[in-house]
């Protein structure tokens, strides 16, 4: 039996997982050469547009290596009966770890202190100055899905008070509920953004939310760049409306606005929240498992559910 053709728009990591894909399928990276492909492997930030789907008449499965689907044309996939899978749960802890790391870095001025030492300022200018405690703060989580709840467990385990905002109150939660982002921001000092991307959540963290967070507040975004209004955040950082921010995601990756690059109280990382060997291996395995199930005409392990 001939091998199924896979159009690959995003690589699998570590390299041995990529090797498994290539050993079992005809893997192509050029959409024009792969017009007969039945399967597409993509990533959350790459997705698959409706226009691209139109160039793939045999397409039956979109396997997303990640949890984000805002770049996938879901209505078109549904109209054509194309299955979409993601890799949930296996990256939740890695992203939660990154969110906490960014909060510690931004609050305790770790990256700023690293630059201070490397530039020779410790010897010439004395001490850097005081940071802010993180673990004594009240935490707010905007978006209470798998990642948000994993983060809540982590923070609660460190003795932190946690409040969350979601579309509805979660009655099985140990944390407090705030009805909207402004209320959440007013009740916390660390605002963790873990909400899904997409048009519904664009600009969810705006100037009003940042004002409610206040001058001691820290914003951490490990969700999608557009969930936080970039200009409003840059203004809040430069005017002291908030104390600091830690960002792993941006509107137009890999391009980061100069206003954020210029902000010494803003920690920047290149969308690496899930970039651990353990998480990426588990993600890649789920991609392979979903493809194998599709080919064998078995139930998909992790179909996307809105």
Domain boundaries, given as residue ranges, for the chain? 5-88+277-295, 92-268
Catalytic: which of 138, 211, 271, 281?
271
Catalytic: which of 3, 115, 169, 253?
253
Nearest alpha-carbon partner for 8 in 20, 31, 53: 31
Choose between 197 and 283: higher pLDDT.
Answer: 283
Q: Is 36 a catalytic residue?
A: no
The confidence score (pLDDT) of residue 1 equals: 56
Q: Is 224 a catalytic residue?
A: yes
Mean predicted lDDT score pLDDT of the chain: 96
Q: What is the pLDDT of residues 50-106, one digit of tens each?
A: 999 999 999 999 999 999 898 999 999 999 999 999 999 999 999 999 999 999 999
Percentage of the chain with pLDDT > 70? 100
Say which CATH architecture domain 92-268 belongs to: 3-Layer(aba) Sandwich (3.40)
Q: Is 253 a catalytic residue?
A: yes
Catalytic: which of 224, 229, 280, 294?
224
The confidence score (pLDDT) of residue 2 equals: 78
Alpha carbon distance 153, 194 (integer Å): 14
Alpha carbon distance 185, 168 (integer Å): 17
Residue count of the chain, please give it: 306
221 close to 246: Cβ distance less than 8 angstroms: yes
- Examine domains 5-88+277-295 and 92-268 and report if their fold is the same: yes
Running DSSP on this structure, what letter comes out for residue 194?
-
The H-or-E segment that residue 21 falls in is: helix 15-24
Confidence tier at 288 by pLDDT (50, 70, 90): very high
Indicate the range of 136-140, 210-214, 275-279, 302-306 predicted with least confidence: 302-306
The confidence score (pLDDT) of residue 197 equals: 86
The confidence score (pLDDT) of residue 305 equals: 86
Own/partner contacts of 300-305, CB < 8 Å, gap of 24 or more, are 300/83, 300/85, 301/85, 302/85, 302/86, 302/87, 302/88, 303/83, 303/84, 303/85, 304/64, 304/69, 304/74, 304/84, 304/85, 304/86
205 close to 233: Cβ distance less than 8 angstroms: yes
pTM of the model: 0.91
Alpha carbon distance 228, 192 (integer Å): 11
Alpha carbon distance 125, 148 (integer Å): 40
Say which CATH architecture domain 5-88+277-295 belongs to: 3-Layer(aba) Sandwich (3.40)
Running DSSP on this structure, what letter comes out for residue 283?
H
Alpha carbon distance 104, 101 (integer Å): 5
């Amino acid at each position: 039996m001939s091998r199924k053709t896979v159009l690959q728009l995003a690589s699998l990591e570590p390299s041995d997982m990529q090797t498994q894909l290539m050993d079992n399928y005809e893997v192509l990276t050029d959409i024009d050469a792969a017009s007969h492909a039945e399967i597409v492997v993509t990533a959350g930030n790459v997705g698959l547009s409706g226009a691209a789907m139109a160039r793939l008449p045999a397409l039956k499965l979109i396997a997303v290596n990640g949890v984000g689907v805002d770049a996938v044309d879901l209505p078109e996939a549904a109209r054509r009966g194309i299955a979409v899978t993601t890799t949930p749960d296996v990256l939740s802890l890695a992203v939660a770890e990154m969110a906490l790391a960014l909060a510690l870095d931004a609050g305790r001025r770790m990256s700023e202190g690293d630059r201070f030492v490397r530039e020779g300022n410790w010897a010439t200018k004395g001490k850097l100055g005081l940071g802010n405690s993180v673990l004594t703060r009240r935490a707010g989580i905007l978006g209470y899905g798998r990642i948000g709840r994993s983060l809540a467990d982590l923070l609660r385990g460190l003795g932190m008070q946690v409040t969350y905002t979601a579309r509805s109150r979660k009655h099985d939660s140990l944390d407090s509920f705030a009805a909207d982002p402004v209320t959440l921001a007013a009740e916390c000092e660390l605002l963790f953004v873990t909400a899904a991307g997409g048009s519904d959540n664009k600009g969810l963290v705006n100037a009003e939310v940042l004002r409610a967070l206040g001058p001691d507040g820290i914003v951490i975004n490990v969700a999608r760049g557009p969930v936080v209004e970039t200009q409003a955040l840059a203004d809040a950082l430069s005017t002291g409306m908030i104390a600091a921010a830690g960002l792993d995601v941006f509107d137009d990756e890999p391009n980061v606005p100069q206003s954020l690059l210029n902000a010494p109280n803003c920690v920047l990382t290149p969308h690496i929240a899930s970039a651990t060997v353990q998480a990426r291996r588990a993600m890649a395995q789920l991609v392979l498992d979903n493809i194998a199930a599709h080919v064998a005409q078995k139930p998909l392990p992790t179909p996307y559910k809105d």
